[in-house]
Chains A and B, each alone.
Chain A
Amino acid sequence: MALQLPREWRWRQERYRLIGGRCRRCGQAFFPHREICPRCLGEDVAKEQFSGRGRVYSYATVYKAPVGFEEYVPYVVALVQLEEGALVAAQLTDVDPTEVQIGMPVECVLRRWRTNGPDGNIIYGYKFRPRLES
């Protein structure tokens, strides 16, 4: 597990702040950030912190979780379309799986993803919850 520490650490800003990419040539926004635009294959990609507001594009309920996620069962994993257009695959939180609908407005929050055992580090990252109107 300790071997994962460098990789987890390298991705922290993308995970904590929802920083993705935007192609300077065709304008496409995408997540996570990549060096090459997935749409036009252009190589001029800027980093961008997304607003975190979006809608549920599709979703699935998980009853049998991978290692480290058992405590959240049952939970929903969704493809969220951000206002910027990028699609983000993420766990939904603060919601009963039966309440989730396609098109539901959601917003990004920082939550615990999992821990590397009781004496290991805690991995934090983005999740989405039903939008709280301000």
Chain B
Amino acid sequence: MPAMRPSRPIGILGYGAYIPRYRLQASEVARVWHGGQDHVPIAQKAVAGPDEDAITMAVEAARNALARAGIAGERLQAVWVGSESHPYAVKPSSTIVAEALGAGPLALAADVEFACKAGSEALQMAVALVGSGMADCALAIGADTAQGRPADELEYTAGSGAAAFVVGLADEAVALLEGSVSYVSDTPDFFRRGQEHYPRHGGRFTGEPGYFAHVLAAGRELLSSLGRSPADYAYVVLHQPNPKFPARAAAELGFRPEQWQPGLLVDRIGNTYAASSLLGLTAVLDRAEPGERVFFVSFGSGAGSDALSLVVTEKLPLRRHQAPATASYIARQQLLDYATYARFRGKIAL
């Protein structure tokens, strides 16, 4: 099966990140639940403030993407928001986001759900819409305020963040899309039933049959169908539920640490779910030079991966300073104690 390619040249016109101000250190979770004795997977995670949710974070990331694209929201013909923490069970986040950006009313809008792959699935939808010639400009967002059950190992890493991408025609793009592969299968590695507040993970399914099977298959398929090797890429960005999985998968695909380290943010902001791999991509676009290639593979439980190959254009250095760098959001941080964190995220039922 060949890689999917757009029927006309397209790319990313603008990208934007958002990471909330608050941080919860893993050592603080270990102190409360494990007497400080647990082995912690990361240093800290980003936590949304009490007035933030997937919608507010999506809006800020999208405004940054529009600023870099240099276009007004009214140019958007589609607004797709991928998340597993949409504030409403019934009522789209995407119409609120579109209204806040000044997009529509003549526009497509929908919420996308696919665990941590929801944002890259939205990106694939935008690529398809613009690549087919049905529209000239589409917005894809991944945004999550992920929650782990208190004391569960997910609580160390389940973080908050958002990333947004404006997809449009190649002549205005900061990075061109060369091709993509999507790969899915029915895998019970992680799930949350409709009325449940916290998700469950399917034990032995999380590593090999989940993350590694899908990331490696999608990544290998894209490399072989494009006739490329890892050495053709300056950067590789993978979904990052913890620091170990993406490093091991990237190494198995044949990449080197200097290719994956710039886009590996999980140790400082946690697993931001639908935004996780996309935020890594924003961090890489903040530093990539014209002509450099970026290899991207997301992963969402349930399960699936989207792999994309991008090449940076000469427009990127001119436009990246039109919005805050991902590193500035990472640097802006206020530590929380566990009690304040529990209050912010509604973990105490009154």
Residues of A within 8 A of B (CB): 12-13, 16-17, 49, 71-72, 93-94, 109-113, 121-122, 124, 127, 132-134
Contact = CB atoms under 8 A, between A and B. Distances in A.
B56 A110 contact: yes
Which of the listed residues B52, B88, B100, B329 has the most CB atoms from chain A within 10 Å of its own CB?
B100
Interface residues of B, number: 26
8 residue pairs, one from A and one from B, having the closest CB atoms: A16-B100, A111-B51, A134-B324, A112-B51, A110-B59, A94-B21, A111-B56, A110-B56
A72 B50 CA distance: 7
A17 B103 CA distance: 11
Nearest to B321: A134
A88 to B, nearest CB: 17
Contacts of B113: none
Contacts of A110: 55-56, 59-60, 100
A122 B52 contact: no
The majority secondary structure among interface residues of chain A is mixed
B96 interface: yes
A124 B55 contact: yes
A133 B100 CA distance: 22
A124 B328 contact: no
Given A109-B56, A110-B56, A124-B55, A132 B99 contact: no
Nearest to B325: A134
A111 B52 contact: yes
A71 B50 contact: yes
B87 interface: yes
Nearest to A49: B102
